[in-house]
Structure 1
Amino acid sequence: MRTRFCIIHNPNAGSQTRRLYDAVLSRLKRSCSDIEVTETARRGEGMIAAEAAAKSGRFHAIVAVGGDGTVHDVAEGVLGQSTPMGIIPVGTANVFSREIGLPRSPEALASTLLRGCERTIPVGEVNGRPFLFVVGIGFDAEAVRQFELKGMRSLGWLGLVGPTLRALVSHRDRLLQMETERGLTQARWIIVTRTKRYAANLMLAPTADLNEARFQVLSMKGSGPLMRLTQLSTLAIGGLRFGPGVTLETAAWVKIGGDGLVPVQIDGEVLGDLPLDIRIHPKKLTLILPHAI
């Protein structure tokens, strides 16, 4: 049983943060766990704290408390280390936590951290920087930018509606060049993912598998609000891959070029600029899971 935890907490995560976090922490303490807590205020601080904790050798686990951005930060810090990463998912989307099947109750989360199994998985890298599950280029990155700009996190899922509508109106579709081992193509919006689901738990790429060292790549052709609205409608019912102008392929690597003004989001955070070189990272990530994924 694990008893020594370094907990890295983002107090600015979604509205569930304090209640679920306190409940899990209370259960860990009742199990006589030795806990050290670090609170992060800015992007990148979680990575620094996690790396230092992992290298110290003093902990049985490094635990990320927050949303996908916090999980991304902590994962980057523990990548390639023997100390496993646990997660208490309290953000807006929690895409990665849902994908690995983490429970939602305090009791089950505490039990997972104390006694869960460990699994090592590959992760991606974009221009040499690790990422866990998704890179979006174009429309969805603009929606994320609007989401961050307007400070909508406190509204949870409802906070995604306004930014998406603003992106429909304001985003200018620019031509993107994409290369994979299958050859060259052009698109207006591209999503490179390692998870089945996306955003509001919507089905994106049913054959995605975190255990595989490959990506699922969706490239969207066509432009304008009507085309994007049509594609979003198919995403809402879990069928984006069948939408107009949409192609889904599996790739070991992806290169994307285009206008430097095109927004890029990585694991739900606006990060990076074109061109992008997306590959599998040479190091792997060890996770604490309630069951095998």
Structure 2
Amino acid sequence: MIVDLIVNPASGPNLRRVRRAERVGFVSKVLRAHGATTIRATVTTGPGDGARAVRDALAAGTDRVVVWGGDGTLNEVAGALLDSGHALGIVPGGSGNGFSRGLGLPLDPEAAVAVAMHGRARDIDSGLVDGRPFLNLAGVGFDAAVAERFNTRNLRRGLVPYVTSIFHEWRTFDSRTFTIGIDDDAPIVVDGHFVVVCNGQQYGHGARVAPGAAFDDGQFDVVAVPRITLSRLVRHGWRLFNGTLPVVPGVFTARARRVVLSQSDALPIHLDGEVFDSATRRIFEVRPHSLRVMTP
């Protein structure tokens, strides 16, 4: 079996078992133990490297693409595999691993390689917004501000720097008035801290913003969160982790195949944790069963 291995050495924290510099060697050894006869490895050094590696793999002929990285790396690699029919194997290597956790993938690298090689191929949906694909979550507002701060102001990865970014932005970020168009229904106006369009359930670390979302139902779950006051945070913050966020007063939820989201001032958007240019209006569309992934 020919396996194209793509590794982001900068994603996520160092593991005691496998240091960043050892990732390619470790995964290659495990891949061979699971039947890989040829391994073509790419170590990414910046944006675009993962997508180029996928295009090269498809052009040369490949049996499996396996990627070790966080949600941003998976977004880029999977985006180049959409509608190809080739299965993607995933070794979760990010800080939160929201996409991988949502699929039920093991976080242990050796177990994840076993699933990548011998698991069940599953066709899941992806999302498209303004020409860019996303796999898990796309958010505008507070959560995009948190992602931008986490990605640009922290030298370390992991849960603690992410929580620090949340509290910094919470003190400074103002709520907005969002207009949300759900399929062909009349637009809804909501005041809130952020709106997130969900293909999957969670940001990572078990923080489930859309607990009812499914990767293969042909619909987004749309969640608008009202202004996060200290009172709301104390009374309801725990609900993000036990799957009951939608019952919090003021939280708006809906399901849709197409979403039009706008607000008066231009705001950036995060797609699977990676932040992109600001805009005042965006259109989100589901691409049903457009990605094949290996799952337990």
TM-score w.r.t. the length of structure 1 is 0.89
Aligned to 2:94: 91
Distance 1:260 1:6, change over 3 A: farther
Deviation at residue 93 of structure 1 after TM alignment: 1.0
Correspondent of 2:245 among 234, 240, 243: 240
Q: 1:55-110, CA deviations, whole angstroms, 9 ceiling, x for partnerless residues?
A: 332x1111111100000000011111122111111110111111111123344223
Q: Tell me, what secondary structure is at the counterpart of 1:273?
A: strand
Aligned to 2:167: 165
Deviation at residue 136 of structure 1 after TM alignment: 0.9
Q: Which amino acid aligns with 1:215?
A: F
Aligned to 1:277: 283
Alignment of 1:8 with 2:6, yes or no, is yes
Distance 1:232 1:270, change over 3 A: farther
Return 5+ residue gaps in structure 1 as ranges: none
CA distance in 1, matches of 2:93, 2:127: 23
CA distance in 2, matches of 1:228, 1:24: 44
Q: 1:11-63, CA deviations, whole angstroms, 9 ceiling, x for partnerless residues?
A: 11011464483433321134453111111122222112212212332x11111
Quick check: 2:125–2:215 contact (8 Å CA) kept in 1?
Answer: yes
Distance 1:258 1:284, change over 3 A: same
Deviation at residue 114 of structure 1 after TM alignment: 2.3
Alignment of 1:211 with 2:213, yes or no, is no
TM-score w.r.t. the length of structure 2 is 0.88
Distance 1:191 1:232, change over 3 A: farther
Alignment of 1:120 with 2:117, yes or no, is no
CA distance in 1, matches of 2:147, 2:197: 15
Quick check: 2:13–2:158 contact (8 Å CA) kept in 1?
Answer: yes
Aligned to 1:193: 198
Correspondent of 1:156 among 146, 155, 158: 158
Quick check: 1:63–1:88 contact (8 Å CA) kept in 2?
Answer: yes
Distance 1:263 1:32, change over 3 A: closer
Q: Tell me, what secondary structure is at the counterpart of 1:212?
A: coil
CA distance in 1, matches of 2:188, 2:153: 34
Distance 1:161 1:83, change over 3 A: same
CA distance in 2, matches of 1:114, 1:224: 43
Quick check: 1:124–1:132 contact (8 Å CA) kept in 2?
Answer: yes
Alignment of 1:49 with 2:53, yes or no, is yes
User: Considering only aligned residues, what root-mean-square deviation do their CA atoms show, in Å?
Assistant: 2.2
Distance 1:232 1:143, change over 3 A: farther
Q: Which amino acid aligns with 1:168?
A: W
Aligned to 2:294: 288
Q: Tell me, what secondary structure is at the counterpart of 1:175?
A: strand
Distance 1:273 1:10, change over 3 A: same
Identical-pair percentage: 29
CA distance in 2, matches of 1:111, 1:237: 29
Deviation at residue 233 of structure 1 after TM alignment: 4.4
Aligned to 2:135: 132
Deviation at residue 267 of structure 1 after TM alignment: 0.6
Distance 1:262 1:148, change over 3 A: same
CA distance in 2, matches of 1:212, 1:237: 22
Aligned to 1:179: 181
Quick check: 1:66–1:89 contact (8 Å CA) kept in 2?
Answer: yes
